[in-house]
Structure 1
Amino acid sequence: MQVFMNLIVVVQLLAAIAMIGLVLVQHGKGADMGASFGSGASGSLFGATGSANFLSRSTAVCATIFFAATVALAFGANPGGARSSGGSVLDSAAPASAAVAASAAPTGPAIPNQ
């Protein structure tokens, strides 16, 4: 199981690095914004740019792989989920927060009212 989780982490890292690279290489929508104001361009300012090109489709594929790897890691971290313990995450955290609140209580002598 640990080898499978390590493989998913590697896939997630590679997808993240590829997605960062693809986003940085792409040409933004607002790059020609100044030219559209003064040059009498027929296209709209933020209108449709036509069909998706190879870079945008590759970015979508990398994002899907990254999302799937993240979901797989989340389910792999707790295979039984909340159903196996019969409660939620907050139910298991409640005793710990009560212990912290009890330890934060003052332990010195009380000052009497005058």
Structure 2
Amino acid sequence: MSVLVNVILAVQMLAALGMIGLILVQHGKGADMGAAFGSGSSGSLFGASGSANFLSRSTAVLAAVFFVSTLALAYFGNARPASSGSVLETPAVVAPASGGVDVVPAPPVVPASGAAQIPTK
């Protein structure tokens, strides 16, 4: 399953980089109209819309791939094997010291009451 997660992560990163590139290449909606009235070098009033349609559809496809890969990574990240529990739920294993004597853990520290924690001068 680790290989599958790595493949999905690679697809997600490529989709993210592709979306960044396509979004930076695209022009805004108002940029074409301003260029048509003399502030740019546009050849027609509305410009060529063929490239804009291709870029916007490609961005939408990459966004969908990114969204699906994010959901898949979230699913695989949340999936846990049934046999192993949480690290916090398992008791600590105490190994014997070098002299063969077992190490006894220190008793838990009980926090003081709220009044004892207030600093005084």
User: Gaps spanning 5+ residues in structure 1: where?
Assistant: 44-48, 85-101
Following superposition, the deviation at residue 109 of structure 1 comes to 7.8
Residue 26 of structure 2 corresponds to residue 26 of structure 1: yes
Following superposition, the deviation at residue 34 of structure 1 comes to 4.0
| Structure 2: distance between partners of 1:104 and 1:20 | 53
| Structure 1: distance between partners of 2:23 and 2:10 | 20
Residue 71 of structure 2 corresponds to residue 71 of structure 1: yes
Following superposition, the deviation at residue 105 of structure 1 comes to 5.5
| Structure 1: distance between partners of 2:19 and 2:112 | 46
| Structure 2: distance between partners of 1:104 and 1:60 | 57
Q: Which residue matches 2:54?
A: 54
TM superposition score normalised by structure 2: 0.53
Following superposition, the deviation at residue 33 of structure 1 comes to 4.8
Secondary structure of 1:56's aligned partner? helix
Q: Which residue matches 1:3?
A: 3
Q: How many residues align?
A: 83
Q: Deviations over 1:23-72 (max 9, x none)?
A: 1111210214546789xxx88xxxxx79x611111101100100000000
User: Gaps spanning 5+ residues in structure 2: where?
Assistant: 39-44, 83-109
Q: Give 1 or 2 for the bigger CA radius of gyration.
A: 2
Residue 104 of structure 2 corresponds to residue 106 of structure 1: no
Higher helix share: 1
RMSD: 3.6
Following superposition, the deviation at residue 11 of structure 1 comes to 0.5
Q: Deviations over 1:66-91 (max 9, x none)?
A: 000000001111126xxx8xxxxxxx
TM superposition score normalised by structure 1: 0.56
